[in-house]
C-alpha cells in the first residue's frame, strides 16, 4: 500500500484534492434529520450488544482489533505478531515462543488481511487467520478465547501479502510472494533478477478438527509480485486466484518500471490438481527453514518446532496446474463473487475494470486458447476469458466485495470513493465518497458465498481534518455505510487502532455463545502451576529460583520471600486461582526488564527476573481486582551472594 | 475488566452510603424493579419471619443423616478451592466457617457459594458480610453437587 500511496499521490494530486473538496461539501450538506437517523442506526443502548463482530488488521502495529458494528466500539486489541506489554504477550515465558522464527525472535510484523475460517463457503466463527507481511507468517486466532494460538512461518518467500485467503472449507489458507527472491537464497547480483528470482504460492493446510496448520506444498512461479488472492467458491471451488503485478520483473525504481505492461496476470491455481500431483510424487523436497509455534491451553504455554524442508511443485512439470488470466493494469485485489462465476480484477492503474468468467476460463483451457506460455504456465487470451468490463467507474480501483444481492462494491483510492455496480450488466449504480483515500472495504461475509449485505465498512488511509488533530501522526479510520437500500448512506466515521488494511465481520451470534470465560484449574497442566495455595512454594537449585505463586482476590501466596541472593535468576510462576469470569490478576515486579504478567482465571504465567542488587523489592497486582486490590502486594528480599539468610517464604503467619 | 464495577465495589467499602445510592440506580436500569436495593432488603429482613434461604439456584436442601463419604469429598474440595480465603476456625480473608451451619440455613450456604455476586448485592446477611470484610466472595464456578459436598463437610465439622 505504501508504494501505491506514493504513486497515486504523485499522479493523482489534482483528482485527490478535488475529491477532498467535494467530500467536505457533501458532508456539510448533510441535514440534521439525516444525521439523527444515521445516529439512530448506529446507536447501541448501554448494556446491549452489537449485531456484528468486526476484526480489523492493525497494519504496522502487527495486531488485530475487535470492534462492534454498527456502534464502532473497540472491544479488544489481540496481540498477534507484535509484543504487547499490556497483556505480557511476547514478554512472558509462555508466549515468547509464539514470536520465534527461523531468523530468531521477531517481535513485530505488518499484519494486513484478517480472514475468517469457512465451512461450505460461509464464515463459521471458529478461527480468524491473518498474515505477517514482513517476516512471512500466518497466524491463527481462536475465536473462543480471542487469543493467537498458532503462527506458522512461510519459507522461501518474502513479503507475504497475498495471504491468508481461505478455501471454501478452510482446507487451506494461502501465502503468495510479493517480493520475489532467489529460491533458495544465495549470493547473486540484484541486476540478475529477471528470470532468476522466484515467487512461491504456498498452500497451508488447516486441520479440520483442531485447526493445526502445516505447509502442505509450495508452487514455484515466475518472479512477479503476487499481491492478493481469493479462493473459488461453488462451481469454482478447487481453484485459487492470485493477482500479480511487476510482470516486468523489475527490481529498481519500481513505481515506474513495474507499470510498463498493459496487462499483468491473475494466476488461477487448480489446487485439487496440485493435491493429485503431490500424491503422485511430482513434488520435490526443497530446503526451507521455518518455525511453527503453537499455544497449548492446558499447559498455558507455547512451543516452537523447527522444520527445514518443504514440498515444491514446478508448473512446467505439472500441466494444468496454473493458468494466467491477463488483467489490466497492475491488478491489486482479485475478488470472486458469491456464485463463484466472476473473478474481478481491480487493475489499480487502469481506467476500466476487467471481470473474468470462470466458465469462459474453463472453455478457453479446453480449447487451448493460449496467447503464450511463461515457464510452463499457459497465458489464456484476454478476450476469451473476459466476462465484461465496468467502464470508467472511478480512479484507482483496489478491492471489491459483494452483498449477495447481485451487486459489487469497489473501493477507489485515487477518487476516494465506494462505487456500487451490478454483476452481469456492469453498470454503475451508485457512488459515495470516503474520507479519505480508501484502501480495502468490507461487507460482513462479503468475500464468501453468503454475504450479510447490510453494512459496508471502508478502511481509510488518510484522516487529515476528520478528527481533533494529534500532532503529525493521525489515526487511520473506518467508515460505516448502510447498503441495505438502493443508495449507500454514510452512518458513522470512527478512528482505528493501527492501519486497518483489510477487515472481516461476522454476526455476533456465530461467535458470542462460544466465548470461553475461564480456564479450568483442574485442566491446568503447566509444569510450574500451583493449583491450590497448598502447592504454593519456592524452590532453589543453584542460582535458579522458582516461585510457585498463587493469586486470588486479593493476595499472593507467598507474598514474602527471603533467601534470594544477588545473581539469582528468579522465575515467578503465577497461577490465578480464580474460577469466575472477568477476574484476571496482573503481576508487576520492581525493576523487571520485561512487562507485567496478565494471568487469566485458571491460567499460569511466568516472569523471569534477575536479582541484581541487595535490597527488598516489591511486587503487586496491576489489574484492579477487588476493594482490597491496593493491598495485593508483596516483597522479595535480595541478600548478598553467599549470604546465610535461609530460603523462607510465607503469607500471613510466618512459616 | 469491568473497572467501573470494581470501582463501585471499592467505593462500597469506604463509603457505604455512596455505594447504596449508586447500586440502587443500577438496579433500576437493570431490572426496573424499585425497592430491590440492599436498604429495603435489610428492612425486609428485619421484618421477615422464618429462616433466610438466600438468593440463588437452591430453594430446598433435604438434610439426612451425615454422609461421611460426601463430607470427605467436600473437605478435599474446600481445601483446594476455598482455603485461599477461608479457615474453619479463624478469621482469614473471609469469616471463620466454624458453626456456619448453625448461623445459616443449608440453602443460604449453598447459594452464597454458587451465586456470590447476587447474594452480596441483594441478600441482607451477605451484604452485611461484604460490608464487614470488604473482600469479595469469589465465585469458584463449583457445581451444585460439589457445593452440596462442601455443605456436608461443614455439617460434619460442626458436629464434632
On chain A, the residues whose CB falls within 8 A of the CB of B134 are 627-628
CB contact under 8 A, B7 and A624: yes
Q: CA of A48 to nearest chain B CA: how many angstroms apart?
A: 11
On chain B, the residues whose CB falls within 8 A of the CB of A627 are 9-10, 12-14, 134-136
Of A279, A378, A314, the C-alpha closest to A183 is A314
Are A116 and A124 spatial neighbours (Cβ–Cβ below 8 Å)? yes
C-alpha cell at A321: 496446474
Helix pair B16-31, B38-47: axis angle to 10 deg:
90
Q: Which of B5, B6, B116 to mutate to test the interface with A (most CBs of A within 10 A)?
A: B6
Q: Which of A47, A533, A623 sits opposite B84 (nearest CB)?
A: A533
The order of strands in the sheet holding A147-153 is: A115-119, A122-132, A137-142, A147-153, A284-296, A301-313, A213-222, A198-206, A172-176
On chain A, the residues whose CB falls within 8 A of the CB of B9 are 626-627
CB contact under 8 A, A580 and B92: no
| Tens of pLDDT, residues A327-338 | 999 999 999 999
> By the CB < 8 Å criterion, does A485 face chain B?
no
Q: How many CB pairs below 8 Å do chains A and B form together? A: 71
Torsion from C-alpha of B87, B91, B97, B103, nearest 10 degrees = 180
Contacts 24+ apart (CB under 8 A), A88-92: A88/A595, A88/A596, A88/A597, A88/A598, A88/A605, A88/A607, A89/A148, A91/A594, A91/A595, A92/A594, A92/A595, A92/A597, A92/A605, A92/A606, A92/A607
Of A422, A260, A247, the C-alpha closest to A326 is A247
pLDDT-derived band of residue B48, with 50, 70 and 90 as boundaries?
A: low
> Higher model confidence: residue B42 or residue A12?
B42
> By the CB < 8 Å criterion, does A540 face chain B?
no
Report the pLDDT value the prediction gives residue B14, as an integer from 0 to 100. 39
On chain A, the residues whose CB falls within 8 A of the CB of B2 are 582
Beta bridge partners of A370: A380
**DSSP for residue A569:** E
| Tens of pLDDT, residues B83-137 | 999 999 999 999 999 999 999 999 999 999 999 999 999 999 999 999 999 989 9
Of A137, A173, A136, A128, the C-alpha closest to A157 is A136
Q: Which residues of chain A are under the pLDDT cut of 50?
A: 1-29
Query: In angstroms, rounded to a whole number, what is the distance separating the alpha carbons of residues B16 and B13?
Result: 6
A-contacting residues in B 33-72 (Cβ below 8 Å): none
pLDDT-derived band of residue B21, with 50, 70 and 90 as boundaries?
A: very low
Q: Which of A533, A557, A580 sits opposite B138 (nearest CB)?
A: A580
C-alpha cell at A11: 499522479
Report the pLDDT value the prediction gives residue A301, as an integer from 0 to 100. 98
Model confidence at B29: pLDDT above 50? no
pLDDT-derived band of residue B44, with 50, 70 and 90 as boundaries?
A: low
Query: In angstroms, rounded to a whole number, what is the distance separating the alpha carbons of residues B47 and B40?
Result: 10
Query: In angstroms, rounded to a whole number, what is the distance separating the alpha carbons of residues A259 and A243?
Result: 14
> By the CB < 8 Å criterion, does B92 face chain A?
yes
Q: What is the ipTM of this complex?
A: 0.77
Query: In angstroms, rounded to a whole number, what is the distance separating the alpha carbons of residues A550 and A23?
Result: 57
Q: Which of A532, A625, A626 sits opposite B80 (nearest CB)?
A: A532
B-contacting residues in A 619-638 (Cβ below 8 Å): 623-629
Pairing of strands A633-639, A560-565: parallel
Report the pLDDT value the prediction gives residue A653, as an integer from 0 to 100. 74
CB contact under 8 A, A579 and B3: no
Of A131, A121, A122, A120, the C-alpha closest to A57 is A131
CB contact under 8 A, A531 and B85: no
Amino acid at each position: 500500500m505504501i508504494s501505491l500511496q506514493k504513486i497515486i499521490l504523485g499522479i493523482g494530486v489534482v483528482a485527490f484534492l478535488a475529491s477532498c473538496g467535494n467530500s467536505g461539501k457533501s458532508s456539510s450538506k448533510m441535514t440534521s434529520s439525516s444525521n439523527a437517523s444515521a445516529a439512530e442506526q448506529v446507536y447501541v443502548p448501554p448494556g446491549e450488544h452489537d449485531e456484528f463482530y468486526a476484526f480489523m488488521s492493525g497494519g504496522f502495529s502487527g495486531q488485530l482489533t475487535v470492534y462492534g458494528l454498527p456502534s464502532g466500539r473497540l472491544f479488544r486489541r489481540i496481540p498477534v505478531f507484535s509484543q504487547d506489554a499490556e497483556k505480557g504477550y511476547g514478554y512472558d515465558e509462555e508466549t515468547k515462543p509464539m514470536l520465534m522464527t527461523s531468523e530468531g525472535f521477531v517481535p513485530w510484523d505488518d499484519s494486513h488481511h484478517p480472514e475468517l475460517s469457512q465451512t461450505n463457503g460461509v464464515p463459521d466463527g471458529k478461527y480468524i487467520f491473518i498474515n505477517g507481511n514482513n517476516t512471512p507468517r500466518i497466524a491463527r486466532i481462536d475465536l473462543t478465547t480471542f487469543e493467537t494460538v498458532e503462527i506458522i512461518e512461510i519459507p522461501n518467500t518474502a513479503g507475504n501479502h497475498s495471504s491468508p485467503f481461505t478455501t471454501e472449507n478452510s482446507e487451506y489458507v494461502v501465502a503468495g510472494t510479493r517480493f520475489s527472491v532467489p529460491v533458495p537464497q544465495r549470493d547473486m547480483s540484484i541486476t540478475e533478477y529477471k528470470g532468476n528470482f522466484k515467487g512461491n504460492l504456498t498452500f497451508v493446510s488447516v486441520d479440520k478438527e483442531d485447526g493445526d496448520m502445516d505447509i502442505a506444498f509450495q508452487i514455484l512461479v515466475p518472479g512477479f509480485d503476487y499481491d492478493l488472492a481469493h479462493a473459488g467458491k461453488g462451481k469454482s471451488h478447487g481453484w485459487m486466484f492470485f493477482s500479480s503485478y511487476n510482470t516486468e520483473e523489475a527490481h529498481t525504481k519500481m513505481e515506474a518500471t513495474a507499470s510498463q505492461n498493459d496487462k499483468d496476470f491473475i494466476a488461477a491455481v487448480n489446487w485439487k490438481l496440485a493435491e493429485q500431483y503431490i500424491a503422485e510424487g511430482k513434488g520435490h523436497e526443497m530446503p526451507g527453514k521455518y518455525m511453527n509455534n503453537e499455544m497449548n491451553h492446558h499447559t498455558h504455554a507455547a512451543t516452537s518446532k523447527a522444520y527445514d524442508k518443504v514440498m515444491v511443485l514446478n508448473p512446467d512439470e505439472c500441466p494444468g496446474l496454473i493458468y494466467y488470466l491477463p488483467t489490466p493494469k497492475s491488478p491489486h485485489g482479485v475478488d470472486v463473487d458469491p456464485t463463484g462465476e466472476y473473478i474481478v480484477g481491480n487493475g489499480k492503474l487502469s481506467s476500466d475494470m476487467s471481470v473474468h468468467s470462470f466458465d469462459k476460463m474453463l472453455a478457453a483451457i479446453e480449447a487451448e486458447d493460449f496467447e503464450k506460455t511463461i515457464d510452463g504456465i499457459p497465458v489464456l487470451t484476454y478476450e476469451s476469458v473476459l466476462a465484461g468490463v465496468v467502464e470508467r467507474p472511478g480512479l484507482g480501483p483496489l478491492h471489491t466485495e459483494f452483498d449477495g444481492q447481485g451487486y459489487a462494491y469497489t473501493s477507489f483510492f485515487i477518487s476516494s470513493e465506494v462505487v456500487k455496480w451490478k454483476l452481469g450488466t456492469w453498470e454503475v449504480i451508485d457512488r459515495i465518497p470516503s474520507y479519505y483515500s480508501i484502501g480495502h472495504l468490507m461487507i460482513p461475509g462479503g468475500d464468501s458465498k453468503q454475504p450479510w449485505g447490510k453494512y459496508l465498512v471502508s478502511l481509510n488511509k488518510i484522516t487529515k481534518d476528520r478528527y481533533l488533530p494529534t500532532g503529525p501522526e493521525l489515526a487511520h479510520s473506518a467508515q460505516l455505510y448502510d447498503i441495505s437500500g438502493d443508495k449507500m448512506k454514510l452512518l458513522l466515521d470512527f478512528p482505528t487502532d493501527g492501519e486497518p488494511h483489510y477487515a472481516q465481520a461476522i454476526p455476533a451470534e456465530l461467535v458470542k455463545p462460544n466465548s470461553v470465560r475461564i480456564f479450568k484449574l483442574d485442566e491446568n497442566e503447566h509444569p510450574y502451576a500451583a493449583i491450590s495455595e497448598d502447592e504454593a512454594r519456592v524452590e532453589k537449585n543453584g542460582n535458579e529460583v522458582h516461585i510457585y505463586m498463587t493469586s486470588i482476590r486479593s493476595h499472593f501466596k507467598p507474598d514474602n520471600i527471603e533467601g534470594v541472593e544477588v545473581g539469582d535468576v528468579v522465575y515467578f510462576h503465577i497461577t490465578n486461582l480464580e474460577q469466575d469470569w472477568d477476574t484476571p490478576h496482573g503481576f508487576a515486579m520492581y525493576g523487571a526488564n520485561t512487562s507485567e504478567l496478565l494471568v487469566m482465571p485458571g491460567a499460569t504465567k511466568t516472569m523471569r527476573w534477575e536479582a541484581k542488587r541487595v535490597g527488598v523489592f516489591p511486587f503487586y497486582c496491576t489489574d484492579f481486582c477487588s476493594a482490597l486490590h491496593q493491598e495485593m502486594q508483596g516483597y522479595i528480599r535480595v541478600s548478598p551472594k553467599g549470604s546465610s539468610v535461609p530460603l523462607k517464604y510465607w503469607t500471613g503467619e510466618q512459616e | 475488566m469491568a473497572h467501573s464495577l470494581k470501582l463501585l465495589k471499592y467505593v462500597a467499602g469506604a463509603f457505604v452510603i455512596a455505594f447504596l445510592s449508586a447500586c440502587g440506580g443500577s438496579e433500576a436500569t437493570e431490572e426496573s424493579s424499585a425497592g430491590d436495593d440492599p436498604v429495603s432488603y435489610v428492612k425486609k429482613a428485619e421484618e421477615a419471619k422464618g429462616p433466610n434461604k438466600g438468593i440463588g439456584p437452591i430453594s430446598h436442601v433435604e438434610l439426612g443423616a451425615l454422609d461421611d463419604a460426601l463430607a470427605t469429598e467436600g473437605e478435599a474440595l474446600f481445601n483446594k478451592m476455598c482455603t485461599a480465603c477461608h479457615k474453619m476456625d479463624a478469621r482469614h480473608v473471609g469469616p471463620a466457617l466454624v458453626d456456619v451451619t448453625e448461623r445459616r440455613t443449608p440453602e443460604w450456604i449453598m447459594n452464597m457459594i454458587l451465586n456470590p455476586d447476587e447474594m452480596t448485592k441483594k441478600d441482607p446477611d451477605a451484604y452485611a458480610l461484604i460490608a464487614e470484610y470488604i473482600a469479595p466472595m469469589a465465585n469458584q464456578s463449583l457445581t451444585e453437587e460439589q457445593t452440596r459436598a462442601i455443605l456436608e463437610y461443614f455439617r460434619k465439622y460442626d458436629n464434632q
